[in-house]
Chain A
Amino acid sequence: MTQKNDIRWLPGFNWVTLFFFLFLYLPLIILVVFSFNASRSATVWSGFSLEWYVKAFANDDIQRATKNSLIIAVFATVFATTMATMAALALSRNRAVKNKSLFGGVLILPLMVPEIVTAVATLTFFSAIGLSLGLGNIIIAHSVFCIPFAYLPIRARLDGMDESLEAAARDLYSNKWDTLRLITLPLLMPGILSGAMLAFIISLDDFIITLMVAEAGSTTLPIYIYSLVRVGITPEVNAISTVLLGVSVLIVTAAYLVEKKK
């Protein structure tokens, strides 16, 4: 590319870029900064302190909500990733499956359905069939909407994999199961891990659907944070949010690195 065509050489490029990133990240930076504030104020800086982190970690309600969130996220991730892997294998490798693109489309359609609609539909459905499993309800709901998120990276990885590798394994005396176990799954693992991490984050962060289907005692972290905010913003909320943010960034980064690795 010549210098002339490179947008980096357009006048004002640096300022526009700076403004863009501030616009994206300034709220998050302020949130993180004030989680270390010494006073109760969420807007006036008065010194560095880890007090709010200590308080947040000692809070029984937060501990309970975090535990719920993690249980839900782990189970939903395992279910969703398993389903997504099977769906990807069927749609990418099984010659007997007809209408592959139709099924593939239907599978990722939930990504485009407004979340509030899914939430209301799930709530209505659960009460219609009288399902009341406590955390189980939320796990089922999360498993369902996490499937497309887990499916996409797995399918992408599978489509990028040379099918002749599986043919070579069959040719070298492996039956279908051994081929899946020894060749397909090991090579697919980065996609599966990346899909699983994505599902985990989506489940951990979910608010609307959880709010609808959560029964008493099934409060998750995002819902607890919301209830705190309604009382008034304290640096304690900032502290929990910062931890949640840190976990998300960590997992998404790991997912990215795993997927990039050959």
Chain B
Amino acid sequence: MTSAIGLSGLQKTYPGAPPVRALRNADLAINDNEFFTLLGPSGCGKTTLLRLMAGFEVPTGGKLTLFGEDIAHLPPEKRPINTVFQHYSLFPHMTVLENVAFGLKRLHKSDAEAKQVAQQMLDLVHLADFGDRKPGQLSGGQQQRVALARALAPQPRVLLLDEPLSALDLKLRQSMRAELKRLQRETGITFVFVTHDQEEALAMSDRIAVMSQGEIQQVGDPATIYEFPENRFVAEFIGDADFFEAEVLGGTEYKLSNGALLTGPRTEAAIGSQVTLFFRPEKAELKQSGSGLPGQVSEILYLGNSTDYVVDLAQGGALTVRSENHKDGTALADVGADVVVEIDPAAVRVVTT
């Protein structure tokens, strides 16, 4: 099966002194009918990659294909790819219906057909009665839906979404997540979604590509990215993590840099070599006593559905344990309490730095 979008060795370097390598040798295959997310901090190259796909930038090297066809040098208007822009970019001098019909008319559809499809698209985003208004008369969330309808109306092979939720407030953002998932399912169009919000990426995507400094760090489904990050950047960027430098003692035994012993996964690394271990704070347990790493609670961060306990370890260093509160709402421990942190060996991962 040919992928919807294929990159091989794709590069974008902006001239300058020194030149800015916004995208370095990216290889990627985005499947048809997939909700695919490009995730990374600002400046990681995700927006550059999106602009390359849309045709606003021309690559300086490598290949870019759409269903097997080379599109690297096609202008944006020749690509069956549409974009939902970060700030919607609705045409202010046209009505909502004219906005949505714009792409269809440019594709030489008849006025009647363009209007009819545009109206269907407005129905799809629950704005059926807003066709006669100007974009300026709509709220941010409504403008967002119009932008979606406008980009979906010409039935592109791929829809690009450039941080479309970042300008919305929290509640609206959460409802739009479900809405986007629904639209992707109903239309069957491949969505390429760009965001720096890892929670958004985990919640919506079929697969995620985590990017940093112009390179793709890891590609995988949300659970794989979260549970088995391939390097420290991915582990740190997705969710929270406690890291330890450790020495391999052989088998499943590790000696942490503070001298404590920890059982973890089997590793290929040679005995005596240095590795980085990490675990997710919600996978450690806070106990009054028992076997584990002893320490003292130094700080408590109440998060509502859970609580973060920062524990200063008796042997040096600190780690964070995330735990649900007791059913009656009381905390597991108070600041200053002596505790033991139990870490299940199955929760410990070894990553490269």
Contact = CB atoms under 8 A, between A and B. Distances in A.
A174 B106 contact: yes
A174 B154 CA distance: 13
Interface residues of A, number: 17
A169 B55 CA distance: 12
Interface in A236-262: 262
A60 interface: no
Given A170-B77, A175-B77, A187-B93, A162 B87 contact: yes
B75 interface: yes
Given A164-B85, A178-B106, A171 B91 contact: no
A134 interface: no
A189 to B, nearest CB: 9
Contact of B89 (A168, A178, A262): A168
B89 A162 contact: yes
Given A171-B54, A178-B106, A164 B75 contact: no
A243 to B, nearest CB: 36
A172 B98 CA distance: 12
Among B90, B102, B107, which residue has the most Cβ atoms of chain A within 10 A? Answer: B102
Contacts of B292: none
B150 interface: yes
Given A173-B77, A186-B93, A167 B106 contact: no
Nearest to B83: A171
B91 A170 contact: no
A160 B334 CA distance: 55
A170 B56 CA distance: 9
A50 interface: no
Contacts of B107: 173
B144 interface: no
A90 interface: no
Contacts of B89: 162, 164-165, 167-168
A141 B138 CA distance: 48
Contacts of B154: 172-173
A52 B93 CA distance: 47
Contact of B83 (A168, A178, A183, A262): A168
Contacts of A164: 85-87, 89
A168 B91 CA distance: 9
B150 A262 contact: no
Contacts of B77: 170-175
B76 interface: yes
Nearest to B51: A167
A164 B75 CA distance: 15
Nearest to B86: A164
27 contacts: A162-B87, A164-B86, A164-B89, A165-B89, A165-B92, A167-B56, A167-B83, A168-B85, A168-B91, A169-B91, A169-B102, A170-B55, A170-B75, A170-B77, A171-B77, A171-B82, A171-B151, A172-B77, A172-B82, A172-B102, A172-B103, A172-B150, A173-B107, A174-B106, A183-B91, A186-B93, A262-B136
Closest 9 A/B residue pairs (Cβ): A172-B103, A173-B106, A170-B76, A168-B89, A164-B89, A173-B77, A171-B83, A171-B76, A174-B106
